[in-house]
Amino acid sequence: MTSEALLSARGLRVVIDGLHILHGVDLDVAPTGVTALLGRNGAGKTTTVKAVMGLVPRTGDIRFAGRDVGRLPTHAVVRQGIGYAPEDRGVFAGLTVAENLRLAERDADPAYPFVYELFPELRSRGRQLAGTLSGGQQQMLAIGRTLLNANRLIVADEPTKGLAPKIVAEVADVLARVAERVPVLLVEQNLALVRRVAGTCTVLADGRTAHQGDAAELLADEEAARRLLGVGGGHPVAASSIATAAPAVAAASAATATATATKEAP
């Protein structure tokens, strides 16, 4: 898997204020589809993602698309082609929705048609202050920002955290569609969502990599899932809400496909 991984980290360590938070994380992100980063609370998932992005001081080897990015500052990492939607969404509350998007523009020709196709509300609410959006809308904005540029990887840290089940289903749809275009590294606690979208997964425990492999296999193995994640199967509530949303997904992904086609035509 290492040879073909889009992003691979080896022996990632993070020390903040004298506290060792990561002791040696190995992570491989598959070049297609969704790679899930799992683990119990406090296992070091968010820190791992931040270390990859250069948002916390880190040591270890990080390679992205064959390039060493382990010593690059955050903005340079991002410019390698990584879109990042952080845990707390990271939208600028005092800026309008349109300004939030404008700030994220890196390419000469940002993919506004695709983003607005996916999230029509971001267009209609363009002049609204992002701080007045609902949690779900803010998450759409955070994901929309990563899709403006021709990124080679999207990193989404707990995009469904704190959202109502119906919104969780919408986010799941979006992630599934995004993953058709560009590989995704997904930090997620919602295992039903993981089961639906993720191909491979990495499990962290106490700041170390505890398991790497196929996501569906892991979640099918009740004993392993309980041992590594502290849970049995998926959450029934979340699972059902995603199931009911499924028909909408099919319709929407057709629209996405058209949008993608028009975008890439010229």
User: Where on the chain is the footprint of other proteins (CB under 8 A)?
Assistant: 17-18, 53, 55, 73-76, 78-79, 84, 86, 90, 92-95, 99, 102-104, 106, 145, 149
Q: Which is nearer to other proteins, 159 or 234 (CB)?
A: 159
Q: How far is the CB of 58 from other proteins (least distance, A)?
A: 14
Q: Which is nearer to other proteins, 89 or 125 (CB)?
A: 89
Q: How far is the CB of 149 from other proteins (least distance, A)?
A: 8
Q: How far is the CB of 109 from other proteins (least distance, A)?
A: 16
Q: Which is nearer to other proteins, 98 or 216 (CB)?
A: 98
Q: How far is the CB of 263 from other proteins (least distance, A)?
A: 20
* Angle at 83 (CA atoms; ends 68, 184), nearest 5 degrees: 85
Q: Which is nearer to other proteins, 79 or 226 (CB)?
A: 79
Instruction: Give dist(CA 85, CA 159) in Å, integer.
Output: 8
Q: Which is nearer to other proteins, 93 or 237 (CB)?
A: 93
Q: How far is the CB of 157 from other proteins (least distance, A)?
A: 11
Q: How far is the CB of 142 from other proteins (least distance, A)?
A: 10
* Angle at 217 (CA atoms; ends 187, 226), nearest 5 degrees: 70
Q: Which is nearer to other proteins, 140 or 225 (CB)?
A: 140
